[in-house]
Structure 1
């Protein structure tokens, strides 16, 4: 259950304004993402060039594009991320670990792995720890590992908290809301739950909002919530990310003095 204090923080965050200052701050936290499954090589080239030009945190892709993207990001601070066990969240731990290891071999700095959602829903929270331990062994200690919890499916705050804590104990670096491939992606309520787990862990673990984060107005709400729970001076690309495809365009518009779009759905 969301307590009264968190409800108040959510209400305050909902009023946050997408100012140019906030937009410029958020740009540095974006994992510029392309996971439609229909990407062309030209589109990947354009995405990587756009990421470097705007100094985002990372580019997140399907593993098949890693070898193409790696040299395009070379010499920049933009990190390269790939997905594993995506988007289904299978309970085949060995497969997930193999996919993650292959992604690192092909140049990934970061791996976003989907938790075994159905198993968690059936009460097996322990499988989260098993997955993360296996993937961590496969990718080594220096690769950033993000756990996608599909909070729109897990739904219950206590269930989300239990799964998130299992991931933290097993060695994840980020807790992430969604694949963006299900009807309910990120929500402020689920974000608050994950942020609190991050705060309880002393920000050894960061938070990533993904799934329907499309506008600077959306970003303002999540950043306001993060500032309140995690601390504004502690939020950097090491502790806070936005996974999105169209968000960057809206942030750039607002950073330049324009207005934020109304919002929408999607990754």
Structure 2
């Protein structure tokens, strides 16, 4: 094993425990979701969470229970997904139902199009409402700002600050459903916003992180901005579907 291969193997071992293993296709089946859950445990430990549409929360709960992973792997789901166009009332209902069904983590799409049109009030109101329900249900709130659609540094910064002000536990780059998803440039803006807020908020890079070398770049960026001890599942996640296989390949 070369020095580079050894370095990537260390990255892979760390990154596996930071993955929200994700399947969010409209035509997903229960069997596919069960198979996803079966990938959650690896030779170097489990992923952080399984992220699926709300209708599969119960399927994930049962399969993780069957695999004795119920205490190790969180169940995450998406709300206001993927376009961020639902009402605050609908979002409140959907989060309440998801937590009741067994979700531990809520990935909420910020109404980013309204933000781009100059409406900051709806975004802040929605995040605050979502946070209130998550607090009652002891759930983690990740706010997806859709950084690739926002585009400009100023908008990415503004969206991050609104998410943090509203009570987000994590700020997440993307849905994975648009042309531009996670980028290092946008991630730097988000991480800097988190650092400058001085609040205990995490970061999730989602969409487009597919190789161990790419994962390494995001981990290095986070450590550079937030410090070497900050990168743990409590503060850093990868939202990914194909990354896990590449990380496992780096360990072989």
Q: TM-score, normalised by structure 1?
A: 0.86
For residue 138 of structure 1, report the CA deviation from its aligned partner. 2.7
Match of 1:49 in 2: 38
- Bigger relative contact order, structure 1 or 2 (CA pairs below 8 A, ≥6 apart): 1
Q: Name the count of aligned residue pairs.
A: 241
User: 5+ unaligned residues in a row in structure 2: which ranges?
Assistant: none
For residue 33 of structure 1, report the CA deviation from its aligned partner. 0.1
Match of 2:62 in 1: 71
Q: Deviations over 1:202-237 (max 9, x none)?
A: 351000000111111210111111110111211100
The worse-fitting range, judged by mean Cα deviation, of 103-112 and 90-99 is 90-99
Q: TM-score, normalised by structure 2?
A: 0.91
> SS at 1:80's partner residue?
strand
8 Å CA contact 1:52–1:76 kept in 2: the answer is: no
For residue 161 of structure 1, report the CA deviation from its aligned partner. 1.0
Q: What are the equivalent positions in structure 2 for 1:36-115 lying under 5 Å apart?
A: 36-53=25-42, 54-74=45-65, 75-115=70-110
8 Å CA contact 1:203–1:239 kept in 2: the answer is: no
CA distance in 1, matches of 2:193, 2:83: 24
CA distance in 1, matches of 2:156, 2:121: 13
Alignment equivalent of 2:112, drawn from 108, 114, 117: 117
User: 5+ unaligned residues in a row in structure 1: which ranges?
Assistant: 1-14, 257-267
> SS at 1:251's partner residue?
helix
Match of 1:211 in 2: 207
Q: Deviations over 1:68-122 (max 9, x none)?
A: 1112223331100000000011151111121111111110000000010110010
Determine whether 1:180 maps to 2:169: no
For residue 201 of structure 1, report the CA deviation from its aligned partner. 3.0
> SS at 1:83's partner residue?
strand
| Aligned CA-pair RMSD | 1.6
> SS at 1:99's partner residue?
helix
Q: Quick one: structure 1 residues 112 and 18, their matched pair in 2 at CA, closer, same or farther if it must change by over 3 Å?
A: farther
